[in-house]
Structure 1
Amino acid sequence: MDTSGAACPVPILEIAKAIRRVPVGTVVELISTDRGLEADLPAWCEATGHTLLRLERRGASYVGWVRKAGEGPGHGP
C-alpha cells in the first residue's frame, strides 16, 4: 500500500486496516514519505506482535514489509 504524502498517523492507521483484512502469515508492503515511519513502524510491530521483515529508505520514500502474526491478544492496531 502506498501512503506517500500522508503524515503520521495515517501510514500506521492504513497498515493496521490492511493487516486486519489479510490472512495470518501474509506480508503487507507499506510505502510512505513520512520519515516518522522509521520509528513508528518498528514500534507498532512490537506493540501488535506483527513481524517487521525489513524497512528501507528509497530516495524520499520508506518501504516496510510486515508479516501478519497469528490472531489473539495483542495483535490489534
Structure 2
Amino acid sequence: MADSSRMDNSVRVDTSGRPCPVPILEIAKAMRRLPVGTLVELVSTDRGLEADLPAWCEATGHELVRLERRETSYVGWVRKVG
C-alpha cells in the first residue's frame, strides 16, 4: 500500500538532523533544477522550519501547499511557481 501521507508526484528533500539554515538552502537548491509546477516535499527536524518555510515561500513566490508537524519532524510541501 502506498504512503497516503505523501503527496503524489512530489520530489522529496530530507534534511532530518541538519540545523538551520540547511533545510531552506536545500529546498532552494532543489527548486532551481526543477520545472515549474513541481511539488517538493521538505522533511526537517529543525523546529525553525515552522517560521522559516512560510517566510521563504513569501519571499520567493513559491506556493506553500501544506506544513505539518509529525512527532519530531516537520513536513512541508511547496509547489514551484514560475
SS state at 1:30 partner: strand
Q: Residue in 2 aligned with 1:36?
A: 48
> Structure 2-normalised TM-score?
0.85
Q: Deviations over 1:44-71 (max 9, x none)?
A: 000000000000000000000000010x
Which blocks of at least 5 consecutive residues in structure 1 are unaligned? Answer: 71-77
Q: Could you say which structure has the higher strand fraction? A: 2
Which blocks of at least 5 consecutive residues in structure 2 are unaligned? Answer: 1-12
- How far apart are the structure 2 equivalents of 1:65 and 1:40? 13
Structure 1 outlier segments of 4+, above 4 Å = none
SS state at 2:14 partner: coil
- How far apart are the structure 2 equivalents of 1:59 and 1:19? 26
Q: Deviations over 1:6-52 (max 9, x none)?
A: 00000000000001111000000000000000000000000000000
Q: Percent of aligned pairs with the same residue?
A: 83
- How far apart are the structure 1 equivalents of 2:25 and 2:81? 17
Number of equivalences:
70
